């Protein structure tokens, strides 16, 4: 007599499916809620960097520079989450024919794991990122306070309208994160931009300033000679300076 086959379901299947479903949900769910802006990043152009790394009011942006003139772009971040920002990341884009980036300077708040590759040919700072590795009690960049992430040293190159933008890095290793929670989705970060105009006469270079100074010296010397063309040297005698010759 053939043995009877039992059509029993595997008792482990429901548990396995539940675990897989939980993993999928956890992987696809953002660190903070679903959708909506959780953090903001703003870019502020200035002639020189400000003294502090936190503020409740962003400084008034610079709107115009001359070709050859140096300036900075400050990068600020904040969040509505009370835990604060543990890392801020972005890629910066600009027109290299109008201005270039000369250096990237991370602030003390985001000095851990600093990154930022400057490409002045493509007009990019790729993977600009910095972290604040400390306790969440620091509450870095919690609204209404802004936290300065980094300062870009830039130099105007030629006349034109310069737009500096920020965007998601597209690199898994570099993300914007909330302390004690995790990385945000790109859609949860509001990336800002800055615009300024490069116009006016170019700022003289060091060699040009030297030429200007020499020209001024020659003009001043010539003025003195002209004013002293006739000078008394004794009883009724005088000498005159004419074309470099001294006549008594």
Tell me the residue range of the domain where 223 lies: 206-247
Of 174 and 211, more confident: 174
- Tens digit of each residue's pLDDT (9 = 90 or more) over 95-135: 999 999 999 999 999 999 999 999 999 999 999 999 999 99
Q: What are phi and psi of 87, to 5 degrees?
A: -155, 150
Residue 50: band (very low, low, confident or very high) from pLDDT cuts 50, 70, 90: very high
187 plus 93 within the same structural domain: yes
- pLDDT value of position 200: 87
Q: What percentage of the chain has pLDDT greater than the value 70?
A: 67
Please give the model's pTM, rounded to 2 decimal places.
0.71
**7 pLDDT above the threshold of 70:** no
**C-alpha 169, offset from chain centre:** 14
pLDDT band at 158 (very low <50, low <70, confident <90, very high): very high
Same structural domain, 233 and 189? no
222, 117: one domain: no
């Amino acid at each position: 007599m053939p043995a009877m086959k039992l059509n029993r379901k595997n008792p482990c299947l429901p548990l396995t499916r539940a675990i897989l479903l939980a993993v999928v949900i956890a992987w696809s769910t953002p660190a903070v809620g679903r959708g909506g802006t959780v953090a903001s990043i703003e870019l502020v152009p200035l002639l020189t960097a400000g003294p502090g790394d936190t503020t409740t009011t962003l400084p008034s942006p610079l709107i115009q520079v001359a070709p050859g003139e140096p300036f900075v772009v400050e990068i600020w971040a904040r969040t509505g989450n009370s835990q604060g920002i543990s890392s801020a990341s972005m890629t910066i884009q600009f027109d290299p024919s109008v201005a270039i980036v000369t250096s990237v300077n991370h602030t003390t708040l985001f000095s851990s794991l600093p990154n930022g590759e400057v490409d002045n040919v493509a007009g990019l700072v790729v993977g600009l990122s910095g972290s604040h590795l400390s306790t969440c009690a620091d509450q870095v960049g919690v609204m209404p306070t802004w936290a300065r992430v980094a300062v870009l040293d830039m130099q105007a190159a030629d006349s034109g309208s310069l737009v500096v933008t920020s965007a998601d890095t597209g690199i898994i290793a570099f993300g914007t994160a909330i302390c004690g929670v995790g990385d945000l989705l790109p859609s949860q970060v509001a990336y800002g931009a800055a615009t300024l105009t490069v116009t006016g006469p170019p700022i003289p270079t060091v060699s040009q300033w030297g030429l200007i100074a020499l020209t001024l010296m020659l003009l001043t010397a010539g003025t003195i000679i002209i004013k002293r063309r006739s000078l008394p040297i004794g009883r009724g005698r005088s000498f005159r300076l004419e074309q470099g010759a001294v006549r008594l």
